[in-house]
């Protein structure tokens, strides 16, 4: 629910979980996100994997990152 809700640009993104990637407007491409509020910061990022509640939610610009675990940043 509400995953990727503000996305205006981006291809090949997968977001599962409440508010997952929901603040991202230019999510670019190839992001895989699972978890509540995961990868939820406003910014530009691509080729990232975030698994866990709030995983990667502080990143504003980032490429080729992996975040695993609750609050992993």
Q: How many CA atoms lie within 13 A of 8 on its CB side?
A: 5
Per-residue model confidence as pLDDT tens digits over 7-49:
778 899 999 999 999 887 777 899 999 999 999 887 888 999 9
pLDDT confidence of residue 41:
83
Q: Tell me the whole-structure pTM to 2 decimals.
A: 0.90
Q: Which two tokens stand for residue 3?
A: 């995953």
- Residue written as token pair 């675990």: 69
pLDDT confidence of residue 63:
92
DSSP labels, 36-53: TTTT-SSSEEES-EEEST
Q: Which two tokens stand for residue 38?
A: 């995961």
């Amino acid at each position: 629910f509400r995953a990727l809700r503000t996305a205006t640009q981006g291809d090949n993104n997968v977001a599962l979980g409440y508010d997952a990637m929901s603040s991202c407007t230019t999510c670019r491409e190839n992001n895989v996100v699972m978890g509540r509020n995961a990868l939820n910061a406003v910014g530009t990022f691509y080729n990232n994997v975030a698994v866990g509640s709030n995983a990667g939610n502080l990143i504003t610009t980032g490429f080729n990152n992996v975040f695993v675990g609750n609050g992993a940043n």
